[in-house]
Amino acid sequence: MQKGQMLYEGKAKKVYATADPDLLIVDYKDDATAFDGKKRGQILQKGIYNNKMSAFFFEKLSDAGIPTHHVKVLSERESLVKRLEIVKVEVVMRNIVAGSLAKRTGLPEGTPLPFPVLEHYYKSDGLGDPMINEYHVRALGLATQDELDTIAALSFKVNDILKAITAQAGLDLVDFKLEYGRHHGQILLGDEISPDTCRFWDSETREKLDKDRFRRDLGKVEEAYQEVLRRLMGPNK
Ligand code: TMP
C-alpha cells in the first residue's frame, strides 16, 4: 500500500492518504507533548512501541467483537486504518483515581473507584479539550444520542477487555482515553491505545509505566514503554 499525500500531522502521528479513499496510513512519531502542547519532547522509539502496542490491543478488541479502524501493521511505525470521520468527543474511562480526577475531586491518586467512570471531553485543541457532558455533546451537534449510547456501551466493553489483558501482564489499568469515528455510518474505535493514552501501573509496586513519567519528569520514560510492550507481547517484540 503506497503512501499518498500527507493529510494531517498531529502531536504524535502523521496521517497519509492511500489509493483507496476508505483507507489511510498512520505514521507514529517519537514526539511527545503534554499539557496542551506546552511541554514538548521526544521519547526515543515511542513511535515503534505505540504502533506495535496499538495493533496488539486493536486485534484483541476486534477478536472480542469491538469494531475498530485497525486493518494491519505495514512497517515498524506505520499501520493501515479505515478512514474515519472523527467524533469530536474524547472518552476517558477510569478505574482508579489519578490525574485530573484527583485534582477535580480531591481524592488521593490510587483510590479505587467502585465502578468504572466514563467522562466526555470536547476534542478541541484551541479550547484545551474541556470536559463536557452528554447534553453538551448533543447541543453542540458533536454526536447523536444513539451514537453516544453506542460509544458508551463499547467503551465499557473495551475497559473489561483491556483490564483482563493488562492484569495478565501484571499491570493495573488506571484510566485511558478513547476516540471514535464514523465509517460508512458505523461507529468504529479509532486513534491509538498506548502508554500515551492509558495509565498503566505495576500491579505489585504501583510504579507508573506510562506517559506520566514524561509529564511529571520521573525519568526512565523509554524503559517504561518498552517494559509494557515486553509484558504484553513477550521478550522478542
Ligand atoms: P487525565 O487524568 O489527565 O484527565 O487523563 C486521563 C487519561 O486520558 C489518561 O490515561 C491519559 C489520557 N489522556 C490522553 O490520552 N490525552 C490527553 O490529552 C489527556 C489530557 C489525557
Percent of the chain scoring above 90 in pLDDT: 97
Burial class (CB in 10 A: 0-12, 13-18, 19+), 51: buried
What distance in angstroms lies between residue 183's CA and the mean position of ligand 1's atoms? 25
CA of 19 to the centre of ligand 1 (A): 34
Give the position of cell 474515519. Answer: 84
Are 34 and 215 in contact, with CB atoms under 8 Å apart?
yes
Which amino acid does the sequence have at 111? T
Q: Which of 69, 53, 61 is nearest to 198 (CA)?
A: 53
Pocket of ligand 1 (CB under 6 A): 92, 98-101, 129, 175-177, 197-199
Ligand 1 atom with minimal separation from the 197 CA: 15
Please report which confidence band the pLDDT of residue 208 belongs to, taking 50, 70 and 90 as the band edges. Answer: very high
Per residue in 150-179, pLDDT (tens digit) is 999 999 999 999 999 999 999 999 999 999
Distance 91 CA to ligand 1 centre (A): 9
**Termini Cα distance of the chain:** 24
Q: How confident is the model at residue 232 (pLDDT cuts 50, 70, 90)?
A: very high
CB 100 within 8 A of CB 106: no
Going through 152-229 in order, the beta strands assigned E by DSSP cover: 171-183, 186-189, 198-202
What count of other Cβ atoms lies within 10 Å of the Cβ of residue 216? Answer: 10
**Nearest-atom index, ligand 1, CA of 211:** 11
CA 14 to chain centroid, in Å, comes to 15
CATH assignment of 6-82, among 3.30.200.20, 3.40.50.10310, 3.10.560.10, 1.20.80.10: 3.30.200.20
Asked if pLDDT for residue 237 goes beyond 70, the answer is no
Whether the full predicted model's pTM is greater than 0.85, yes or no, is: yes
85-233 folds as D-amino Acid Aminotransferase; Chain A, domain 1 (3.30.470)
Q: Where in the chain is the domain with CATH 3.30.200.20?
A: 6-82
- Which residues, listed in sequence order, are joined to residue 30 by a DSSP beta bridge? none
pLDDT (tens digit per residue) in 97-123: 999 999 999 999 999 999 999 999 999
> In this predicted model, what pLDDT tens digit does every residue of 125-155 receive, in sequence order?
999 999 999 999 999 999 999 999 999 999 9
Q: How many CB atoms lie within 10 A of CB 200?
A: 29
CA-nearest residue for atom 13, ligand 1, is: 197
Whole-number Å distance between alpha carbons of 51 and 192: 8
Among 165, 137, 208, 161, CA closest to 65: 161
Helices of type H across 4-98: 46-63
Residue range 11-22, pLDDT digits in tens:
999 999 999 999
Ligand 1, atom nearest to 210 Cα: 10
Residue 236 has pLDDT above 80, yes or no: no
Distance 79 CA to ligand 1 centre (A): 23
Q: Which residue out of 93, 125, 177, 215 has the highest number of ligand 1 atoms within 8 Å of its CB and is therefore the one to mutate?
A: 177
56-100 pLDDT, tens digit per residue, is 999 999 999 999 999 999 999 999 999 999 999 999 999 999 999
Q: Whose CA is closest to atom 16 on ligand 1? A: 197
Confidence band, pLDDT 50/70/90 cuts, at residue 1: confident
**What does the alpha-carbon distance between residue 68 and residue 62 come to, in Å, rounded to a whole number?**
7
